[in-house]
Amino acid sequence: MSQKSLQYESSSAIKELLDNMNECLSALQNIGVDISNWDIIVIYILIQRLDPESRKQWELKSNETEGLPTLSAFREFLEHKFRSLEFLDTKHIISKAPNVRKGINVAQLESSNNASFNNTNLNCQFCKANHKLINCKDFAKADYETRHSFIQTSRLCFNCFGLNHSVYSCRLSTRCRVCRRKHHSLLHPPNVMQGTENAESKDKGVVVSSATTSQGETITKLDNYFSNSYSQVLLATALVEVESRTGSIGLVYRCLLDQGSQASLITESAV
pLDDT, one tens digit per residue, over 111-156 is 444 444 344 446 788 898 888 887 888 888 899 889 989 988 888 8
Q: How many residues does the chain have?
A: 271
Q: How many CB atoms lie within 10 A of CB 186?
A: 18
pLDDT, one tens digit per residue, over 236-249 is 888 888 777 676 66
Kind and range of the H or E element at 30? helix 11-30
Residue by residue, DSSP assigns 162-176 as -SS--GGG-------
| pLDDT given for residue 146 in this prediction | 92
- Phi, psi of 219, rounded to the nearest 5 degrees: -110, 125
Q: What is the pLDDT along the chain (271 residues), one digit of tens a residue?
A: 566 778 888 888 888 888 888 888 888 888 998 988 888 898 888 888 888 888 888 888 888 878 888 888 888 888 888 788 877 765 544 444 444 444 445 445 444 444 443 444 467 888 988 888 878 888 888 998 899 899 888 888 888 888 888 877 887 777 888 888 878 888 888 876 554 444 444 444 444 444 444 444 444 444 444 445 545 677 888 888 877 767 666 678 888 888 777 778 888 777 6
CA–CA dist 231, 246 (Å, integer): 42
Q: Distance of alpha carbon 155 from its chain centroid, rounded?
A: 24
Amino acid identity for residue 102 in this structure: K
Per-domain boundaries in the chain: 11-99, 110-193
- Phi, psi of 145, rounded to the nearest 5 degrees: -60, -40
Three-state SS at 246: coil
Three-state SS at 62: helix
The DSSP 8-state label assigned to residue 248 in this structure reads: -
CA–CA dist 146, 112 (Å, integer): 34
CA–CA dist 156, 143 (Å, integer): 18
Q: What is the dihedral of CA 42, 47, 50, 56, to 10 degrees?
A: 150
Beta-bridged to residue 236, according to DSSP, are: 257
| pLDDT given for residue 74 in this prediction | 87
Q: For the chain, how long is the longest CA-to-CA vector?
A: 112
Three-state SS at 210: strand
For the full predicted model, state whether its pTM sits above 0.85.
no
